[in-house]
Every structure is written in structure tokens, then in C-alpha cells.
Amino acid sequence: MKTVEKRIRECVAKGNKAFIPYMMAGDGGLDSLKDKLLFLEECGATAIEIGIPFSDPVADGEVIQRAGERALADGVTLRKVLDELVRFKGEVSVPLIIMTYLNPILAYGINSFIERCEKIGIGGLIIPDLPLEEDGLLRNGLEGTDIALIPLVSLTSSLERIVNIAKQAEGFIYAVTVNGITGVRNEFEDKLSAHLKRVKEESSVPVLAGFGISTSQQVEQLGAQADGVIVGSAIVDALHRDDLEVIRGLMRTCTMEINNSATS
């Protein structure tokens, strides 16, 4: 069992649910990356998803796209993010998950990228544009490491595809809660509950819900149906505005709501 899965299971075993915040590396300057990670850890993050800015995102909504554009304008690259993470290796104790598209990894070099992630102690990779049929590009090189290749399952995934993804899943399954890109949503489709139930039934690893989750009510609603949640746009927006109290309140309230729903 890889560390990121172990941390989530430990959280669930205590009667809680996992909370993974997403942040864009380099938005506001790479020199602030360490402090932001430590802040999110202090707030109670189970793990932290670190986004790598990319010029042509296909899964990200407006808030995260703009954060990526600001980081790119400051010259932030995958290599610079990894170099910065090496600088304070071990100072952040929760698992760190890199979210990037495939092209930056190919440009870096797959083997070199994996070796660098191992040196840093990265706990997982989320690559939205890497389909199951092609994930051997990285999976083969990740064998024997503590880095989980975390798959995404969408609302449109067939049962057969969910089963196939679940067979190879590591760390956790990222259950996408909307048809579309990231960003705040006021409501979710009626079929989402059945979808999350189906994914959990087929999966031997934890299932976390993500995309569009931004309020404590939504965390309570979806956290009750999964092993935890991932919150992105709301965190990215608050970090950009330096509104740390909003993040503290969101994570504290969300954790309370999840805990209550788990024990009620």
C-alpha cells in the first residue's frame, strides 16, 4: 500500500473523511510555495495536490486557468517547481500529489521526472490527459516506488471501464463529479450518487470526489458518499486573494461537516 492510500485509510479509520486541497504552484511566486503548503497542512489537509501551470489545460476551469497563466507569466515550469520542492524536502509531512498534463513530463523526460519525484518524496501523480490505455508510459517506471498513479473516473465512464480502471488503481480513485471542467457549481447531477456508489463498489482503494466542490454543504453531501473530497478552485481563489481566513473556515467547517456526516 502506498503512503497516500495509507494516509487516507488512517483518516477514514478514525471516523473522518479525507480532505485534499489543490493549489497552483507558482501562483503568487514560487518562493511562497513552502509557506502555502505548510499552511494547508496546518489547516488539516490529508494530502495536498500541487498543480503545475500549463498553457493548454483541458480539465481546468477559469479560476485555475488564470492561476496557471499568472504562474506561467512569472516563468514557472515543471522543472522549477520540482527544484523548489527539493529545497524544502521533508518539511511538509503530508503526502504531496503532483497534478500535471502529460506534455511537461514528456519534455522533462519520463525517467528523469520519476527519479526527481522519488528524490523529493512525491506521493502521487494525477495526469488528466493520460488515458488508461496509455498509462504504461508512466506506470512501468513507477513500479517499486511509493508514487501512486491516481486515475480519474468520469460520470460518463461505463461500468466496464470503471472496473478496468479500478483493477489498476493506486492511492485512490479521483471520481469526477461533473461533466466538464473544474470550477464552482451550485448543484450536481441527480445520477452522481449512483455513480459514486458504483465506483466505491468496484474499487479496492479509497474513492475521493472532486470538481466543483466549494462549500461545506457540498462537502457534507459528497463526503458522505465517498472517502473524502478534493477542493480546488475555492482554495486557489482564496490563496490568490490572500484570504487565509476563508480557507481556514472552509477546511475547518468542511472537516466538521464530514465528521458529523460520517458519525451520524
Instruction: Classify residue 5 by burial, with Cβ atoms within 10 Å: 0-12, 13-18, 19+.
Output: buried
Report CA-CA distances (Å) from 162 to 31, 198, 215. Answer: 40, 9, 28
Contact by Cβ (8 Å): 174, 228: no
115: left (phi > 0), else alpha (psi -120 to 50), else beta?
Answer: alpha
CA distance 18 to 11: 6
How many Cα atoms are found within 13 Å in the side-chain-facing hemisphere of 148? 27
CA distance 163 to 160: 5
Q: Which residues are catalytic?
A: 49, 60
